[in-house]
Amino acid sequence: MAEDAGSPQKPRGSADIDPQETRDWLDALHAALRAGGNPRARYLLQRLEEEARHLGVPGYAQPYSAYRNTIPLDQQGAYPGDLAIEERLTAIMRWNALAMVARANQAYGDLGGHVASYASAAEIFEVGFQHFFRGPEAEQGADLVYFQPHSAPGVYARAFLEGRLSEERIAHYRQETGGKGLCSYPHPWLMPDFWQFPTGSMGLGPINSVYQARFLRYLAQRGLAQTDQRRVWGVFGDGEMDEPESVAALTLAAREKLDNLTFVINCNLQRLDGPVRGNGQVIQEFEALFTGAGWNVIKVLWGSDWDALFARDHDHALLRLFADTVDGKYQTLGANDGAYNMANFFNEDPQVRALVAHMSDAEVDALKRGGHDLRKLHAAFAAARAHKGAPTVILAKTKKGYGMGTAGESRMTSHQTKKLDVDGLRGFRDRFRLPLSDDDLEHLRFYKPAENSAEMHYLRERRSALGGALPSRRRQADALIVPPLSSYAGFALQADNKEMSTTMAVVRMLGGLLKDKHLGARIVPIVADEARTFGMANLFRQVGIYSPVGQLYEPEDSASMLYYKEATDGQILEEGITEAGALSSWIAAGTSYSVHGVAMLPFYIYYSMFGFQRVGDLIWAAADQRTRGFLIGATAGRTTLGGEGLQHQDGQSHLAAAAIPNCRAYDPAFACELAVIVDHGMRAMFERQQDVFYYLTVMNENYAQPSLPEGVADDVIKGLYRFGGHSLKQPAASLRLLGSGAIFPEVIAAAELLAKDWNIASEIWSATSFTELARDARECERHNRLHPEGEARVSHVERCLAGAAPIVAATDYMRAYPQLIASYVEARFIALGTDGFGRSDTRSALRRFFEVDRYQIVLAALQAVAKPLLRDAIRKYGIDADAPASWTV
């Protein structure tokens, strides 16, 4: 980097045994730089490094540059805005954000909220808002901004000045249940016209933003949208970068040359409890990390007041002292005044002390970190936007709680600070020269300049020039045309007892949908790295795998019909072994209707165990973001995946799915049921534009598939329909058997055994979704409780299972899954399920072990209606009555 030439850092702990020789080498480097510029100097350094390696000399260079700004002063450029007005606006945003949080806690005491993060990031946000973040009316298209979640009060404060949020709304920060307040963090579900991206769960914003930038390219290269001029900006915290998702996709961004992506990391050096790296330097660590991943790195560490000091520091004494100062000490220095900094930093080195000998303690106290300097930040943002061929990260050094004085500036407790005392408020007002009286401070009054003021005129003019207000979210896009069900799923509707797996069925349906002339191009098939496992290899040839560079090699299997085909306009997103990455792509595609105005239909197919359990937080964020699409949990259930064992067998995903209000989860047993659900889901999401998504579990087990019975389609969607039964002339007893997914064939077989061996009649019910049944029953129950004078509503499950005949329900999931409906039926309810850790074995052995096979279903039925027969049944079917329960071993 240009400013680092001639600014070396000695390896710590080393001694210079020949200063004159060192000086000669440095002088030679300076001469090469003067004669040939940066390219020549870098070439020589590269050749020296190569030669040293050949000679066996170990490298001593640090994997980062000097602790100073990347962009030198002579390349900074003039500031294009009115600095004075922008600084006043930034101060106003800071105050209103502070007042918003402090008022809520003054009135209610326990609402929480965060001030210190936005206080550190205010200049970062304002440079973006005033000069870079393009809005929805911009000719080039809107930029996409992922906002640091703890800085939400600052975004609200700006929206208040813009007239987008009323004073009443910001006065009800974190008071949402009355319908007029504001949510704590960015939540599109709660503010569907405002927030675009949910970032409240730290770490998800960075990975989502990478895949969103990649999806912009995907849309453009497939000819579906013009996105070439749109950018993704992500403002994240330095502590947040410790989340594994934050760094999980850095190499993907570099590999695909996503120069439409910029991270701005607010390096206030402070996480919730203490320093991010108390004994190290997190900014240098980030530089090494991002440089190694292939990113362009821009450091903004020191404000303009430091420029004169650097200009006079010919021996780089400051840089040496910076290099030896750990972040914990930087925080202590930041929390104290100029006199403390003079005594405990500048005076530690005679050369550094001489550099500031002319400065007073007050002048030292006024030295800013680079993240609080609008000019330095603008230069970095502009350089990031201009950089081609790689994504850029801006590392902006700030102070957490900047401006909060002794109450929170660079303090260990700053993240928990919710209010300031009157003296602290006066100090805040005076520091930022705010036009507030003591009475205003005492009552925490919001401040808004007059509509005809220079500040308000400037605010409106800048956002107008950039295309309107941000954040902003659209709710709908043009509806997609969903083809007739028979056109792609006729084989499933009229299966005629052909054997197939439901995984095979859903992949075949997907292939048919991809051929549809209206919908086909909008489908986004997504896999992590299991396309062949799920029988999707035929799609490689049919629609290709997306790659921004096409295919630069001849694949090993090029002679086969199903060879691995990559193409610039490929449709499949084959993400490799990263469920988090694949889920992030699914979110980008499933929110395209809102983010890009182009409705897309994503199908993400994956091992069901590695969905809700592994990336459940991302699925929850997808729900918050109102994602539309299908999650296909393949090889689902605890007993269908023979041989794989504990960590691959899913018996709990439907319980996780049941917790998400806008997730419609189904466990169909048959291809015909699956077809009806897929059709219904597409029409709900893309004709009626409902903000829901569908989770479907499918199995790799082949068994006979019936045709769709007449008149049951609506009941399939509601979650329960009568499949059949065994009527006997004089039965000993009768009951109802329920089942779903892979265990339903066992339920059918159990009904035959009950009739043949024990003269017991049964009704057989296919429960496609216990979740939907419970949701409907819960809503009916609530309505009847709140409207006792009206006609009582009857839920679908109560209507189907009315009466006292006992019920036995069996699934390939934990007992808690069918028990979702137990409280809504009057009959005795017995649930069988696969509680406990998985095992490696055959399907039949696993079902015997988890006690969900046909024989255990018979035992449960006898326990309910003919208990004296249990001993005979145990003997007849060879059941080990003393075997331990599956959940105890």
Q: In this structure, which amino acid lies at residue 126?
A: E
Q: How many CB atoms lie within 10 A of CB 531?
A: 22
Looking at residue 14, what is its pLDDT?
Answer: 57
Q: Among 151, 185, 207, which Cα is nearest to 371's?
A: 151
Beta strands in 353-453 (DSSP E): 392-397
Closest CA to 506 of 692, 296, 705, 304: 705
Tokens representing 379? 């230069």
Q: d(Cα 587, Cα 714) in Å, to the nearest integer? A: 29
Decide if 76 contacts 376 (C-beta within 8 A).
Answer: yes
Element (H, E) at 859: helix 854-865
SS3 239: helix
The pTM of this model reads 0.93
- d(C-alpha 853, C-alpha 844), whole Å: 8
Beta bridge partners of 633: 606, 697
Contact 300, 334 (CB under 8 A): no
Question: Nearest 10 degrees: CA dihedral of 521, 526, 527, 532?
Answer: -10
pLDDT, residue 15, reads 75
Spatial distance between the Cα atoms of 547 and 562, rounded to a whole number of angstroms: 17
What pLDDT is recorded for position 406?
61
**Rounded distance between C-alpha atoms, residue 644 and residue 602, angstroms:** 28
Cα(833)–Cα(809) distance, integer angstroms: 9
- The helix (H) or strand (E) run that includes residue 100 is helix 83-108
What is the residue type of 115?
V
Output the CA angle 89-90-94, nearest 5 degrees.
115
Inter-CA distances, 871 with 169, 755, 847, Å: 68, 18, 21
Q: How many CB atoms lie within 10 A of CB 42?
A: 16
What is the DSSP code string of 573-637?
Answer: EE--S-HHHHHHHHHHHHTHHHHTS---EEEEEEEGGGSHHHHHHHHHHHHHTT--SEEEEES-S
How much is the pLDDT for 179? 78
What is residue 61's predicted lDDT score, i.e. its pLDDT?
A: 59
Helix (H) or strand (E) holding 695: strand 693-697
Structure confidence at residue 558 (pLDDT)? 86
Q: Where are the alpha helices (DSSP H) in 432-590?
A: 438-442, 454-465, 485-493, 502-514, 537-543, 579-590
Q: What is the pLDDT of residue 7?
A: 37
Tokens standing for residue 489 = 């799923």
Q: What's the confidence (pLDDT) of residue 372?
A: 97
SS3 for 155-217 is HHHHHHHCCCCCHHHHCCECCCCCCCCECCCCCCCCCCCCCCCCCCCCCHHHHHHHHHHHHHH
Question: If residue 765 lies in a helix (H) or strand (E), which one and from where to where?
Answer: strand 760-766
Rounded to 5°, the CA angle 830-836-839 comes to 120
Q: Is the dihedral of CA 37, 40, 46, 49 positive or negative?
A: negative
Output phi, psi for 841, to 5 deg. Answer: -175, -175
What is the secondary structure of 391-403 as a DSSP string?
-EEEEEE--TTTT
Q: In angstroms, rounded to a whole number, what is the distance separating the alpha carbons of residues 761 and 755? A: 6
What's the pLDDT score for residue 310?
Answer: 95
Average pLDDT along the chain, 889 residues, taken 10 residues at a time: 39 72 92 92 88 78 82 94 96 93 77 82 97 96 96 96 95 87 94 96 96 98 96 97 96 98 96 90 96 96 96 93 95 93 96 96 95 98 97 96 68 56 85 93 94 97 96 92 96 97 96 96 94 88 93 90 91 95 98 97 95 94 98 95 88 97 98 98 96 97 96 98 96 97 98 98 98 98 96 97 97 98 97 96 96 98 97 96 94
- DSSP label at 741? G
d(CA 292, CA 54): 22
The CA distances from residue 701 to 20, 83, 654, in Å, are: 78, 67, 19
* Model pLDDT, residue 417: 55
Burial of 4 from C-beta contacts in 10 A (0-12 / 13-18 / 19+)? middle
